[in-house]
Chains A and B, each alone.
Chain A
């Protein structure tokens, strides 16, 4: 009940012209960013973050989270009309979305995917409303060892669920290494600066995100010689209405997708896995499973519901524990710190306006988002038809400006360029980028919690197993960490070839 009151309070904060305006701007920018190659959720949020430094934190988070929702919605546009998944979590949408578009049912596919996204998001926001305060309340009793255990569990789950454990570890350790550059938080000593004054204040995660996801993506797109050959989009009120009449039939798919999305969103890097899992399950249980891959409405509904749901749910651990569940959530978390808020369970007590404003805005912005995407698809599809030779340099310029404005340093642009090249090579070699960003954002906090914990125990590592809670989390972390190795052993003994 208290949660509902808080939620109403949140709505009262959000319902001002200024905040509603920020919401609309964020959503439109988000769709824009999601449609364009080289700009995605994390990168779009990173570029705009410096411009929000002077805004009230609640308005800033509303705008930036709306960019996130917008980009999640937009993933479906490129997947369905152009067969180009803007981000990895919309890959599964292309399986049935593009065939549908080729059959002249693009409007139907788009309506279904947006509606599915909406349901997935709604389910996750409901979960956040009622679960996040509980999680935060529980986490209030955490000390440094517990926090370190939560961080450890987060990072271990990346290793356990990633494709290549060694590459995940490398990406993560590079993130930690980057976070260590500059002055040590505890002793004040300089680390990894090698006498370079520009490195004194460290490497900013925003610049790294812009380089890896922005410039790197442009280089990849260029190499593929992107030619957008889109299918015509016919979407109007009639198509929308007729599709909506069909959707209730698939309530089971919607529900399953929402549950999968919400569950996977907790864990880092979940959106992609969630969309594939939801697609797979829908196919398995569907009456028309033979038609999957050839243009089945359910095949669009399932992955989009799960992907958007998981994107939303990624904010739960971000708000309640200070641990982001996705790369974009990591950038948002970095934003909290820049606005002077301390992420973690105390947020629910000290920053009620902020937290409940954000949650209320998630309800509202997904409704507004649905209306905006349904009515503006032709406009955004037209943007994709602008030749790449115009889009590419403009995106590079926007990235450069975004990197510069982080702290008005030319050095940042060079760092961005370097990470652009690293991003290009890493992407081609299948190094995951999300662990790097997460480690870069959380690196300092992880290290400080570790050092505080071990300080309290005078160097005994046993502090991480000193009570059942921290012990269980550490044990789960180790299990996940060595999961690939366990899988390898089991695979060998039973003679099952590993994929």
Chain B
């Protein structure tokens, strides 16, 4: 137990606000640099008929990169370096508990359609995080999906991604 606790502390310690701030600043610098590179390809100066297509993007990218550099160095050398952990492992696990199922949900939607995937996602989440009993899980998840189906496919006539189950019913 003790060991586990220590482990958590070291794990959290490297991911300080300062570290994340610097990583994000570096990423922003790269985004800016990419924008500038793409703008150079299409021309950043003047054509006979006015500014070229890359005129604006190049300047946007440049401001972005410069600001990224400022944030990076401010986080590195600045007076108010924030060494507090960006997120503790305990609460990060909670974030992952939403994020990972959500990614899976989006992935699965492509194959079995959004209605079945939603029922599975809501049900799985309720069971795993909320520890609801199976009856509640099944009722809520299936009822939500059917309601969404009624609302979008029948009321608003907006087709959403569907899979094999819906085609079984002729949709």
Contacts and interface: CB of A to CB of B under 8 A. Distances in A.
A223 B42 contact: no
Interface string A134-173: 0000000000000000000000000000000011011001
A417 B102 contact: yes
A180 B56 contact: yes
A389 B130 contact: yes
A231 interface: no
Nearest to B38: A192
Given A394-B144, A401-B114, A455-B49, A50 B158 contact: yes
B24 A429 contact: yes
B76 interface: no
A333 interface: no
Nearest to A168: B67
Contacts of A413: 106, 109
Given A180-B57, A404-B160, A454-B50, A397 B17 contact: no
A414 B161 CA distance: 14
Interface in B78-94: 86-87, 91-92, 94
B146 interface: no
A180 B60 contact: yes
B63 interface: yes
Contact of B161 (A166, A404, A447): A404
Given A173-B64, A219-B98, A396-B98, A404 B114 contact: yes
Given A191-B39, A219-B98, A451-B55, 19 more contacts: A166-B74, A170-B28, A173-B32, A180-B57, A184-B53, A187-B52, A192-B34, A224-B91, A390-B126, A393-B121, A393-B122, A396-B102, A397-B144, A404-B161, A408-B158, A410-B161, A417-B106, A429-B17, A454-B50
Contacts of A223: 87, 91-92, 94-95
B39 to A, nearest CB: 8
Interface in A279-314: none
Interface string B29-51: 00110110011001000100111
B165 interface: no
18 contacts: A166-B71, A169-B63, A174-B28, A176-B56, A177-B61, A180-B56, A180-B57, A187-B52, A191-B53, A215-B102, A223-B87, A400-B106, A401-B152, A404-B161, A410-B110, A425-B24, A428-B20, A451-B50
Contacts of B105: 396-397, 400
Nearest to B128: A389
Interface string B94-114: 110111011101100110001
Contacts of B67: 166-167, 169-170, 173
Contact of B91 (A180, A191, A225, A390): A225
Given A177-B31, A184-B53, A413-B106, A389 B161 contact: no
A218 interface: yes
B60 A219 contact: no
B171 to A, nearest CB: 15
Contacts of B132: 389-390
A173 B121 contact: no
A251 interface: no
Interface of A is mostly: helix
B141 to A, nearest CB: 9
Nearest to B35: A177
Contact of A400 (B20, B60, B114): B114
Contacts of B92: 223
Nearest to B161: A410
A21 interface: no
A388 B64 CA distance: 38
A447 B60 CA distance: 11
Contacts of A187: 52-53
Nearest to A220: B95
A197 interface: no
B106 A177 contact: no
A349 interface: no
Contacts of A455: 49-51
Contacts of A169: 63, 67
A424 B49 contact: no
Given A410-B161, A459-B46, A170 B110 contact: no
A387 interface: yes
Nearest to A426: B24
A310 B128 CA distance: 42
Interface string B135-148: 00000100010001
Contacts of A401: 114, 148, 152, 160
Nearest to B123: A393
A426 B25 CA distance: 11
Interface centre among B50, B55, B74 (most CB of A within 10 A): B50
Contacts of B97: 222
Given A396-B105, A401-B114, A410-B110, A389 B28 contact: no
A119 interface: no
A51 interface: yes
A186 interface: yes
Interface in A177-192: 177, 180, 184, 186-187, 189, 191-192
A404 B115 CA distance: 13
A170 B94 contact: no
A22 interface: no
A194 interface: yes
Interface string B152-171: 10001011110000000000
B53 A189 contact: yes
A95 interface: no
Interface string A444-459: 0001001100110001
A19 interface: no
Contacts of B70: 166
